[in-house]
Amino acid sequence: MKINIVFLLVAVASATSFAQTTAGLKDVYSSKFKFGNILNGSTVNNAAMKTIVLREFNSITPENELKPDATIVASGSTDDNVKVQLNNGAKAILQFCQDNKIPVRGHTLVWHSQTPEWFFRTGFTSSGAVVSAAVMDKRMESYIKNMFALIKSSYPNLNLYAYDVVNEASSESGGPRTAGNGDGKSMWVQVYKDNSFIEKAFTYARKYAPATTKLFYNDYNEYIQAKRDYIANSIVKPLKQKGLLDGMGMQSHLDVRTGSDPYPSPTLYGQAITIYKNLGVEIHVSELDATINDGNESYFTGQATYYKNIMNQILTNGGSAITAVVVWGIQDDQSWRKARKPLLFNASGAKKAAYNELVNLIPQSDWGKPGSNSSSSIVPSSSSSAKPSSSSVAVSSSSKASSSSTAASSSSKASSSSTAASSSSKASSSSTATSPSSSSLANSSSSHTATSSSSSDETLSSSSSEEEDITPILGTGLSIQSSQSITYYSIKGEPLGSAKPQKAGIYIIKQGYSVKKIVVR
Ligand code: XIL
């Protein structure tokens, strides 16, 4: 008995000393911005996940629990009074954040996805007719009003510091989404015929949100030129000028694509940061993850380098405009893209190389006191081999691959990738690819850009006598159907249109949140 008590005292003493010296990401980056993550109805009830959150993060976004399909209730709703609820997951997350004084990013109010179609139909029923814009104005205003009121009344001490008012309203080529439901179409556009609902959403949000809640527009592929420029010039800039918007949420679902160049290149990503920053808005990196091509852990080193290079862009180009960086998931096995292990902790909760690279970027003299960003008790960290670097955070070039190695590595990846199983034989003849060097990513011209076009449905002109169907190269899951509109980008990230790429070269295809590199010969 005596021995047990002594052992216990030693253990407590040792844990206490760890607690005083071990910093989490929120502490390492405390002089820069909030460092956040997500919780969902499952992870919020998992002790190990809560331990990591309390140690590492000082911003939480509910992953799905505040989306329209989780909060709008058809029964009892009228055009003037839309019923809303918080499900058990939402309640657990918001309670946890209020109890531990963790600031919350609300996500999201107006979105084409995860929003019931009946919300746009008479009687709040699937069989109803699509309502008019005037009716939808009332429903949207009521929904936004009631959501903010419900959160405030349920969690009066919650620090709801930011909210994604509108999510993903831009098409891939810049402009409104196609009207309709499902497959990336938008019922908001169906009702309003254009993107005029965006300003209305921000007007209502400004009216009903707490004064301390910053209002964000949030989108993905936000670094690709045509989409980026539309978001910046047609959404963020005018709303900022009208005082309706505070910030831009750069989702940042990125792809390391080990074996070839990462996409986006850190340079392209940094250019987007600069463009949004120049509008005078805050920037949140709101949903950061960076996939590897498959689950092979030997790629974790390349992933770590990519995270470091992206963070360098955030630090140098973003500066004080960046007020939060939020990773979209705690452990790889919990990620919505878990097959490609995109996060900072592995399935056992251990820190990955990417985590350590992020710690190494900030000199320890800049770190905050562990726990200073949260009132919670800090749980000792298991292993922190990360040594702070004394070097500065200079931007490092990450796009060094030559054109020939780019093509070669692409083909070798293609042959081992399950999603491109059918592509290996075609993609392997790299010598025929007119591959622009990605090291000249910024400001250089290539034959690809000569035909670049952001207009949709335009057939690309071809300089190749060897036109062939791209479909076999795309492989499973990426085959083109004639009805499908897919936007193509050159390796430089420039939109080439949305037709079958008949021109030889290397192309990046972004389909939704996925990226694929293809070689056309
Ligand atoms: C994702 C969630 O992580 C998944 O659990 C869900 O099945 C689909 O949505 N952009 C967003 C997020 O704004 O809401 C999405 O979250 C990821 C892409």
Each residue's pLDDT tens digit in the chain (521 positions)?
A: 333 433 333 333 333 333 435 899 999 999 999 999 999 999 999 999 999 999 999 999 999 999 999 999 999 999 999 999 999 999 999 999 999 999 999 999 999 999 999 999 999 999 999 999 999 999 999 999 999 999 999 999 999 999 999 999 999 889 999 999 998 999 999 999 999 999 999 999 999 999 999 999 999 999 998 899 999 999 999 999 999 999 999 999 998 865 567 788 899 999 999 999 999 999 999 999 999 877 788 899 999 999 999 999 999 999 999 999 999 999 999 999 999 999 999 999 999 999 999 999 999 999 998 876 543 333 323 333 333 222 222 222 222 222 222 222 222 222 222 222 222 222 222 222 222 222 221 222 222 222 222 222 222 222 332 233 344 344 434 444 445 555 666 655 566 666 666 666 667 676 667 666 666 66
* Residue of 43, 64, 216 to test ligand 1 pocket, by largest number of atoms within 8 Å of CB: 64
Separation of CA 63 and ligand 1 centre (Å): 7
Separation of CA 452 and ligand 1 centre (Å): 31
- C-alpha to C-alpha distance for 165 and 133, rounded to whole angstroms: 18
Ligand 1 atom closest to Cα of residue 38: 3
Per-residue confidence (pLDDT) for residue 137, from 0 to 100: 98
Q: How many CB atoms lie within 10 A of CB 298?
A: 8
Q: Which of 63, 65, 168, 494 is catalytic?
A: 168
Count of positions (residues) in the chain: 521
| Cα torsion angle, 136, 218, 342, 506, sign | positive
Q: How many CB atoms lie within 10 A of CB 157?
A: 8
- H-helix segments, 102-192: 133-154, 187-192
Cβ-Cβ contacts under 8 Å for 296 (sequence gap 6 or more): none
Q: How many CB atoms lie within 10 A of CB 161?
A: 17
- H-helix segments, 36-119: 47-56, 68-71, 88-99
Question: Does 458 qualify as catalytic in the annotation?
Answer: no
Separation of CA 44 and ligand 1 centre (Å): 17
Per-residue confidence (pLDDT) for residue 446, from 0 to 100: 26
Per-residue confidence (pLDDT) for residue 498, from 0 to 100: 64
- Give the burial class of 142: count Cβ atoms within 10 A of its Cβ; 0-12 exposed, 13-18 middle, 19 or more buried: buried
Q: Which value, in Å, is the radius of gyration of the alpha carbons in the chain?
A: 24
Nearest CA to 398 out of 441, 458, 358 is that of 441
Q: Which of 63, 141, 287, 357 is catalytic?
A: 287
Per-residue confidence (pLDDT) for residue 362, from 0 to 100: 97
Per-residue confidence (pLDDT) for residue 452, from 0 to 100: 25
Nearest CA to 270 out of 327, 296, 309 is that of 309
Q: Residues enclosing ligand 1, CB less than 6 A?
A: 63-64, 167, 220, 251, 287, 336, 513
Closest protein CA for atom 16 of ligand 1: 63
Question: Does 168 qualify as catalytic in the annotation?
Answer: yes
Ligand 1 atom closest to Cα of residue 335: 3
* Residue of 288, 336, 515 to test ligand 1 pocket, by largest number of atoms within 8 Å of CB: 336
Query: Strand pairing partners for 288?
Result: 327
Q: pTM of this prediction?
A: 0.77
Structure tokens at 85: 């609820």
Separation of CA 337 and ligand 1 centre (Å): 10
| Cα torsion angle, 378, 381, 385, 386, sign | negative
Closest protein CA for atom 3 of ligand 1: 336
Separation of CA 58 and ligand 1 centre (Å): 20
Structure tokens at 182: 């499902």
Ligand 1 atom closest to Cα of residue 220: 10
Q: How many CB atoms lie within 10 A of CB 7?
A: 10
Alpha carbon dihedral 201, 335, 361, 318, in 10-degree steps, equals -20
Nearest CA to 17 out of 9, 7, 28, 27 is that of 9
Ligand 1 atom closest to Cα of residue 329: 3
- Residues 439, 402 contacting (CB under 8 angstroms): yes
* Residue of 248, 254, 328 to test ligand 1 pocket, by largest number of atoms within 8 Å of CB: 328
Cα angle vertex 228, ends 222, 229, to 5°?
170
Separation of CA 36 and ligand 1 centre (Å): 16
- Residues 248, 282 contacting (CB under 8 angstroms): yes
